[in-house]
Copies of this chain bind each other. A is one copy, B any other.
Amino acid sequence: MRIAIDAMGGDFGVDVTVPAAIQSLIHNVSIEQILLFGDKPDIQSCLNASSLLQASPQLLDRLSIVHSDHVVDMSAKPADVLRQRQDTSMLLALNAVADGVADACVTAGNTGALVGLARHSCGLVEGIKRLAICAQLPTSLSNTFLLDVGGNVDCSGEQLHQFARMGCALVNALNGRDEKVSSQPRVRALSIGTEAGKGNSAVNAAVQLCEADSQMHFEGLIEGNQLLEGVCDVIFCDGFVGNIALKSCEGAASYIRSSAHELLKSESALSLNDDYARLMQAIDPEQFNGAVLLGLKQPVIKSHGSSGANGFAAAIQKAVDASEGQLIEKLEFALH
């Protein structure tokens, strides 16, 4: 298993991606090689600074650096990035999986640019109407995946139904399930009520398709307040709704976090400080980091741009699991 990493992507670049790569090599013996794409001197100085590498220099045999002069700016317009087609660390990492040099690609870079470049580099699985981004919801109650969260606005019922099928393929891949023999993932449609017909027109159309789909274990509608309850494996919606729902959860969590900080300042409650840290650790979204671009011919994982090393390592783990679980074969099977 070889993983291509865009070392320059995200808010923190090499300071996060390089330590995460080293961490992953230690914990995953199934990773033969990690290819770090980016500025060679920057990457090298991070490697030199790693105490883990000093303790285990043999890890260096499983690391290689592929230099690139260019980086996709986090605020660059996707259209500009696609037009320029520079040899950025992101594009070179994508090309590595497209060319079979690596088995999966991980980046924390500019999402819009990634979607465009990945589509072009890796190509879409036959029959895919739209690429979807599938995020794992930050719930420890169960593993629930939400798609699309990437911005496919104004989707048809048919497209939503396809998202549901792709989500099932991902869950089967990550769980190492064979969809021909084992139980199917439980699927729900995100909506504003749980009774039949409580969707908008696209959701109502998708529900009909899912109910008629003998390959799918469809359990009906789900509301926004149930997203983190872990009641099903796959929740589908269009990218406009999914993006807003996911970010609303994140915004609420960060509001509660900052309220607690405010309280701490005024109360100087050291006890809360400790217990609060434990609470925040228990609900830390980093452990669920790593959204999967579904519909591509190769596994491509998008880490949150502001993720730390533990979060980026979780994204690398998703890449390993998706590849080992034969995501692409399962996608092709789900869509044939």
Residues of A that sit less than 8 Å from B by CB: 139-140, 151, 153-154, 190-193, 198-201, 223-229, 237, 239-241, 243-256, 259-260, 262-263, 267, 269, 271-272, 275-276, 278-279, 282-283
Do residues B249 and A249 form an inter-chain contact, with CB atoms below 8 A? yes
Do residues A255 and B201 form an inter-chain contact, with CB atoms below 8 A? no
Do residues A259 and B279 form an inter-chain contact, with CB atoms below 8 A? yes
Do residues B241 and A263 form an inter-chain contact, with CB atoms below 8 A? no
**Residue in contact with A267 in the complex, picked from B139, B151, B198, B278, CB distance below 8 Å:** B278
Contact A251 B272, CB 8 Å, known A153-B199, A278-B267, A279-B260: no
Q: Which residues of B contact A252 (CB under 8 A)?
A: 227-228, 248-250, 252-253
**Residue in contact with A192 in the complex, picked from B151, B224, B251, B278, CB distance below 8 Å:** B151
**Residue in contact with A240 in the complex, picked from B153, B200, B269, CB distance below 8 Å:** B200
New A-B pairs, 18, CB < 8 Å, besides A153-B200, A154-B201, A246-B248: A140-B259, A151-B192, A151-B198, A192-B244, A224-B243, A224-B251, A225-B250, A225-B254, A227-B252, A244-B244, A245-B248, A256-B256, A263-B275, A269-B271, A269-B275, A271-B275, A272-B275, A272-B279
A246 to chain B, nearest CB (A): 7
> How far is it, in angstroms, between the C-alpha of A193 and the C-alpha of B239 when the chains are bound?
12
Q: Which residues of B contact A190 (CB under 8 A)?
A: 244
**Residue in contact with A255 in the complex, picked from B228, B260, B263, B267, CB distance below 8 Å:** B228
Q: Is the interface of A mostly helix, strand, loop or mixed?
A: helix
Residue of B whose beta carbon sits closest to that of A273: B275
> How far is it, in angstroms, between the C-alpha of A279 and the C-alpha of B276 when the chains are bound?
10
Residue of B whose beta carbon sits closest to that of A238: B200
**Residue in contact with A223 in the complex, picked from B241, B244, B282, CB distance below 8 Å:** B244
Do residues B248 and A139 form an inter-chain contact, with CB atoms below 8 A? no
Q: Which residues of B contact A140 (CB under 8 A)?
A: 259
Residue of B whose beta carbon sits closest to that of A278: B263
Mind listing 14 A-B residue pairs with CB under 8 Å? A151-B198, A153-B200, A153-B201, A154-B201, A192-B243, A225-B254, A227-B248, A248-B248, A253-B256, A255-B283, A269-B275, A271-B271, A271-B275, A272-B272
> How far is it, in angstroms, between the C-alpha of A259 and the C-alpha of B42 when the chains are bound?
40
Q: Which residues of B contact A229 (CB under 8 A)?
A: 251, 255
Q: Which residues of B contact A225 (CB under 8 A)?
A: 247-248, 250-251, 254
Q: Which residues of B contact A151 (CB under 8 A)?
A: 192-193, 198
Residue of B whose beta carbon sits closest to that of A139: B255
A114 to chain B, nearest CB (A): 15
Q: Which residues of B contact A272 (CB under 8 A)?
A: 271-272, 275-276, 279
Contact A240 B139, CB 8 Å, known A252-B228, A263-B279: no
> How far is it, in angstroms, between the C-alpha of A201 and the C-alpha of B238 when the chains are bound?
13
> How far is it, in angstroms, between the C-alpha of A262 and the C-alpha of B275 when the chains are bound?
12
Residue of B whose beta carbon sits closest to that of A281: B263
Q: Which residues of B contact A269 (CB under 8 A)?
A: 271, 275
> How far is it, in angstroms, between the C-alpha of A154 and the C-alpha of B198 when the chains are bound?
12
Q: Which residues of B contact A271 (CB under 8 A)?
A: 269, 271-272, 275
